[in-house]
Structure 1
Amino acid sequence: MKFDFKIKKAFSKLVFELLQFKHKFYNPARLQTFDLDDDSINDKKNLPMVLEYARETLDYMKKKYGTHNVYQGYHFLSHANVMQEQFDILDPVVKRIIRGKELNHSEEFEFIEIIDEKNISDKSYEEVVAEINGTYNDEYFTSMYIMVRKLLENLLYDCLKKYYNADVDKYYNTPKGQHQGFGTLIGNFNDMIRETRFKTDVGDIEQRFIDLLKEFQEKGNKDAHSLFNLPHQDFIEERKGKINNLIKKLDWILQKL
Structure 2
Amino acid sequence: MGAVIGWLVAIVAAGAAVAAWHWLRYPGHWRFAFEPRHADRRRDLDTHRRRLCTALDVSRRAVDTARVHADGAAAAYRGRVGAAERTIERLRDPGRGPAGETLGPLRLFTYRLVLTVDGRTTDHPLDLIWLDTADAGHVHLVLPDGDPLELPLPPGEFTEEQVQAFVVAVRNGVAFAKRDRPRREAQLPAAEAALAEARADTAAMEQARERLAEVRAEEDANPKVAGAEEGWEAACDRWQKLTGVRPRRPRAAHQSPEPA
Give the TM bin, normalised by the shorter chain: under 0.3
TM-score computed with the length of structure 2 as normaliser: 0.23
TM-score computed with the length of structure 1 as normaliser: 0.23
Q: Which one has the bigger strand percentage?
A: 2
Q: Which one has the bigger helix percentage?
A: 1
Using CA pairs below 8 Å that are at least 6 residues apart, which structure has the higher relative contact order? 2
